[in-house]
Chain A
């Protein structure tokens, strides 16, 4: 054990803030990375499931273009 007390451990002879900031940021960023990766995965699974759900218009044939003008009154 390199420290006499818990408070000495926290203070680290005045270097505490530097050391603890580093560790906090390290765990924070690794945590965010993990959380983000898990969320991405869930999103992809949900998206795949949505894609697999049968679409109402099973007949995917594209409608023939008619190029008829759309009448809209402009008052």
Chain B
């Protein structure tokens, strides 16, 4: 058993006077896919944002490789890739420029590789078109292109199948499966019916208005 990359211990989060979850403990191991499930409003996105370090209004401990995450923040961020609801694409920039700036603070990647990554997500020929001229699905594909060059061992992906067509979804699923097989750790939320034999599940309940 390899050591967990990221652990959440006794996580509790309340928002606007409502407890979303409590005593939640999750371990993210290399080579696993964890799916966060639950109805609308159950706090899936909030949990993912907490795991990614974007939301810090929680109580409980977050450990990165067994150590407090906040003291190893930069190392954690270096090894974690987060794709959220909002794709992180500037409409005024071209896909190439977008991808270049997204990678800029993380790792040197040649333009040739980025070009290929965009081709790989089906954006061949659109590399230098302003992103605002692209469809919603194509804009998401720009963000997804990062997955083709990402070397981060931990991926946290929020609703990545949104606005992607059937072929795209199938290819994306394949990518995730391969990534897990080669040792990557992935956390996803999706309403899309996505099943893997060895998938871990974290199920968040519905409403908790009561509680002590």
Residues of A at the B interface (CB closer than 8 Å) are 55, 60-62
Query: In the complex, what residues of B have CB within 8 A of residue A61's CB?
Result: 206
Give chain A's interface secondary structure class.
loop
B209 & A60 in contact (Cβ 8 Å cutoff): yes
A sample of 10 cross-chain residue pairs with beta-carbon separation below 8 angstroms, ordered by A number, consists of A55-B209, A60-B206, A60-B207, A60-B208, A60-B209, A60-B210, A61-B206, A62-B39, A62-B206, A62-B207
Residues of B at the A interface (CB closer than 8 Å) are 39, 206-210
Assembly CA distance A62 to B210 (angstroms): 13
Query: In the complex, what residues of A have CB within 8 A of residue B208's CB?
Result: 60
Query: In the complex, what residues of B have CB within 8 A of residue A60's CB?
Result: 206-210
Among A55, A60, A61, the one with the most B-chain Cβ atoms within 10 Å of its Cβ is: A60
Query: In the complex, what residues of B have CB within 8 A of residue A62's CB?
Result: 39, 206-207
For A64, give the chain B residue with the smallest CB separation. B39
B43 to chain A, nearest CB (A): 14
For A54, give the chain B residue with the smallest CB separation. B210
Per CB-CB distance, the 7 closest pairs between chain A and chain B, nearest first, are A62-B206, A60-B209, A60-B207, A62-B207, A61-B206, A60-B210, A62-B39
Query: In the complex, what residues of B have CB within 8 A of residue A55's CB?
Result: 209
B181 to chain A, nearest CB (A): 36
Query: In the complex, what residues of A have CB within 8 A of residue B210's CB?
Result: 60
Assembly CA distance A62 to B41 (angstroms): 11
Assembly CA distance A62 to B207 (angstroms): 7
Assembly CA distance A13 to B209 (angstroms): 66
B164 to chain A, nearest CB (A): 24
Among A55, A61, A62, the one with the most B-chain Cβ atoms within 10 Å of its Cβ is: A62
